[in-house]
Structure 1
């Protein structure tokens, strides 16, 4: 399976974005011989996301895309929905998306095709070492913006995982190992669906 994993670049007081650091460590670990893994760093800029997201799908042709962002919370969070409207917080260039929305005339929200409850059950059975939870609101900033845009392209399964910053409880390696288990659980779910 071809897997694309993205992380974000620096923003605000976050000079080193935990999401990109964790994604880079994941790339060193890999997903095993059966799966190829490509990574990409996304700037915290609305216009760059709008340009980059469609290119990632057309260039990389992933079977699964997992976007990773950093959040202020202490747990690893699986985002169930991407939202189209309400982007009133400026990006690192001080800009907003047109009409504060992702896709004009698009739906209010899109749910991931992946069942995050099943992902959570799967990783708990594998003995994941970090706290996890499921969220219905990815935050109306670049994380949510990228997630909704990726989901709206309809090119394949998409997930968004928020991780804590590196000054919280978990190390970069612990988060990378957890992300690896999460992605393998998502792959298992997709393989199972394909064989039903």
Structure 2
């Protein structure tokens, strides 16, 4: 019997915080949602508050409810001038206070968890492919998501999914990209991620068959 179940992809963005009264990450996710990934992909989006305890509730619930092929988290960086693909999440160093003036007592994401978790997605390859597509948006790669809520949500998701997550930093709106340009960039990046995952899984299946 043919399996007609759609592939599910979950994409999150953050709500307002600090000077980011309109968070470019959520605006970019909403623009991307309008574009979609085609009829055969079930796309789910969620705005996450800039609060450690909410991340610890919401991310496991999203994995459990939707069981996605992978999850993409998007955040804004005031320092970013490119759309930045983060390679890994970090477990320690969370001393910055969130919207509730809270930070984890241990400054850790997962007590006893590994120091750093890499995404199973080859971000260098994704970056190279998106750059070659002449999208009009500059894309780069980073190994430091900043030890705040962006890094915290990424590590949480990587830990729960054994690396089947990605994190994308976007610059603030208009610095230099519009909401529509950021939406198109997310679509292009997520398509490349799906393509790479599909091919790496075909390779794994093929190796298991021999």
For Structure 1 versus Structure 2, the TM-score category normalised by the shorter chain is over 0.9
Q: In the aligned structure 1, how far is the partner of 2:188 from the partner of 2:174? A: 22
Q: What residue is the counterpart of 1:153 in the other structure? A: 160
Q: Is the 8 A contact 1:62 1:156 kept in 2?
A: no
Q: Give the SS at the match of 1:127.
A: coil
Q: Residue by residue, what CA displacement relative to the aligned partner does 1:86-122 show, whole Å, maximum 9, x if unpaired?
A: 0010001100013111000111110000000110121
> SS state of the match for residue 96, structure 2?
coil
Local SS of the residue matching 1:98? coil
Paired with 1:2 and 1:187, the residues of 2 have a C-alpha distance of: 11
Separation (CA, whole Å) in 2 of partners of 1:162 and 1:22: 11
Matched, 1:109 2:107: no
TM-score of the superposed pair, with normalisation by structure 2: 0.91
Distance, in Å, in 2 between the alignment partners of 1:161 and 1:62 is 17
* Uncovered stretches (5+) of structure 1, i.e. residues with no partner: none
Are residues 1:24 and 2:27 paired? Answer: no
Aligned equivalent of 2:51: 45
Contact 2:130 2:139 in 1 (8 A): no
Shift of 1:155: 5.5
Counterpart position of 1:179:
186
Q: Which residue of 1 aligns with 2:200?
A: 193
Partners of 2:109 and 2:162 in 1: how far apart?
A: 17
**2:173 is aligned with 1:162:** no
**Contact 2:90 / 2:152 at 8 angstroms: preserved in 1?**
yes
Matching residue of 1:83: 90
CA apart distance, 1:12: 0.7
Query: How far apart, in 2, do the equivalents of 1:155 and 1:113 lie?
Result: 8
Between the aligned partners of 1:124 and 1:89, the Cα distance in structure 2 is 33
| Aligned 8 A contact 1:66 1:161 in 2 | yes
Aligned Cα root-mean-square deviation (Å) = 1.0
For structure 2, which runs of at least 5 residues remain unmatched after alignment?
1-6, 204-210
* Structure (1 or 2) with the larger CA radius of gyration: 2
Specify the alignment match of 1:11 in structure 2. Answer: 17
Contact 1:2 1:36 in 2 (8 A): yes
Aligned length: 196
Normalising by structure 1, we get a TM-score of: 0.97
3-state SS of 1:100 partner: coil
Shift of 1:167: 3.2
2:200 alignment partner, SS class: helix
In structure 2, how many angstroms separate the alpha carbons of the residues matched to 1:19 and 1:30? Answer: 16
